[in-house]
Chain A
């Protein structure tokens, strides 16, 4: 790892410490970095965080997996036919443009306050993103590669499985990677506004209400680390598996 990577975080912590120790901002609003770090370790050490973390992860991964299962096949079907994708392009674009938060009440009505509503919000937003990226991937396959396969007398099925599908995989994966970040945002927000007992969003919101600000900041930190790690994992997989993309 490059040494420079650590400079930014250190500067950030120093400024944070400066603000809180010199009381530039009301110290009640910003606890010291030390207090947050202690709370952060406590949460793990005492095992307080696991129920929340696991609940968030469960909703996140379940919604994300469902989005993939729904999004990729639909995207492949829509992308394979210009007629189909032209027919549904507007609808998909429109639904994607609705802020997912605007749909919380509707999902609440349909699914109640359980996990179903939260997962549905994730699936709604993420599957649309995956559909769009998959469609785009299929439609942007190089015509020349398909022609080459045709000259070699490949049948339609082989052309799809051996040419179109592999070529669209980097696009599909990009959609999947963007989805996981959006899924995390949605899960945390729904945990705040669609009631639940456990979850990072709930922990952040409750500690805010009860003015346990060290806990709030520690939970925010955990959510941030989770988001960062998920994105990083996908980036690494992307560069390893799809090193050939765009060539």
Chain B
């Protein structure tokens, strides 16, 4: 299978103060290749630079050094979907749900009729039910999350970046949205890069779990997850899951000791 995301020797640092006299290194020498249609989770200690990693991948921040190719192109010129951590604050409260989801199409200058047709089509193909005529703040947080996901997918991005998107959700909603995103991923075959600080979630969703070290983030280890697909929540109680989990915790312990 062809590679969807290629990262080579990525470095990123931030100035310590406004004068830019000294820098802190956030990401150091990260290289990874991600196959098209793969679901990869990135796991690491809090504040290790995971969000910065996604921000650089999305083209929001320029890398200091290194190369990023998404579908063979620079992130600034590729279609990327990005679900941020604080997703309610990324929806546009003055737009109805349908106009929120259609926003990327509107930017492309597509007509309203076409946009709406696309949204309804997408909702049907993803099997999600959203009250299109309501405003986002009227929805539950799980439903808001679906609006954010639909908006990120409407323009068929080559890659979907997700930054701890389920943090703010209660357990029940979280389980629902986790399975929904797996379902959507199976249907769309979109490459997903998913940052998480929950070890169970990282294993449950992924084909591969990438472990980051403490800041500056380097890749400590990559773990293959060979649980069968489609996944379901009961798998989290299986022996295979537990052995992966123990392995992951062992890796994490070493990461923190370093």
Contacts and interface: CB of A to CB of B under 8 A. Distances in A.
B103 A152 contact: yes
Given A147-B60, A244-B137, A247-B136, A152 B92 contact: no
A147 B84 contact: yes
Contacts of B79: 153
B93 A247 contact: yes
A153 to B, nearest CB: 7
Contacts of A158: 107
B116 interface: no
Interface in A128-172: 142, 144-145, 147-154, 158, 162-163, 166-167, 169
Interface centre among B79, B103, B136 (most CB of A within 10 A): B103
Contacts of A242: 94
Contacts of B60: 147, 150-151
B90 A144 contact: yes
B114 to A, nearest CB: 17
Contacts of B89: 142, 144-145
Nearest to B80: A151
Given A147-B60, A151-B59, A152-B103, A166 B84 contact: no
Contacts of A163: 92
Contacts of A147: 60, 84, 90
B86 interface: yes
The DSSP consensus for interface residues of chain B is loop
B37 interface: no
B137 A145 contact: no
A244 B99 CA distance: 14
Interface in B13-41: none
A154 B151 CA distance: 14
Interface string B56-85: 001110000000000000000001111010
A122 B77 CA distance: 50
Contacts of B107: 149, 152-154, 158, 162
Contact of B86 (A144, A151, A166, A169): A144
Contact of B58 (A151, A167, A245, A247): A151
Contacts of A144: 84, 86, 89-90
B92 A166 contact: yes
Interface centre among A149, A153, A169 (most CB of B within 10 A): A153
Contacts of B104: 152
B164 interface: no
Contact of B94 (A149, A150, A152, A166): A166
A148 B82 contact: yes
A151 B82 contact: yes
Given A148-B84, A150-B60, A166-B94, A247 B137 contact: yes
B155 A152 contact: yes
A142 B104 CA distance: 18
B94 A169 contact: yes
A153 B70 CA distance: 15
A158 to B, nearest CB: 6
Interface centre among A145, A158, A162, A244 (most CB of B within 10 A): A244
Nearest to A152: B104
A153 B155 CA distance: 11
Interface centre among A145, A148, A166, A169 (most CB of B within 10 A): A148
Nearest to A153: B107
Nearest to B137: A247
B135 interface: yes
Nearest to A147: B60
A174 to B, nearest CB: 15
24 contacts: A142-B90, A144-B86, A145-B89, A145-B92, A147-B90, A148-B82, A148-B84, A149-B103, A149-B107, A150-B60, A151-B80, A151-B81, A152-B104, A152-B107, A152-B155, A153-B79, A162-B107, A163-B92, A169-B94, A244-B93, A245-B93, A247-B93, A247-B135, A247-B137
Ordered nearest first, which 7 A-B pairs have the shortest CB separation?
A247-B137, A244-B93, A247-B93, A151-B82, A148-B90, A144-B89, A152-B104
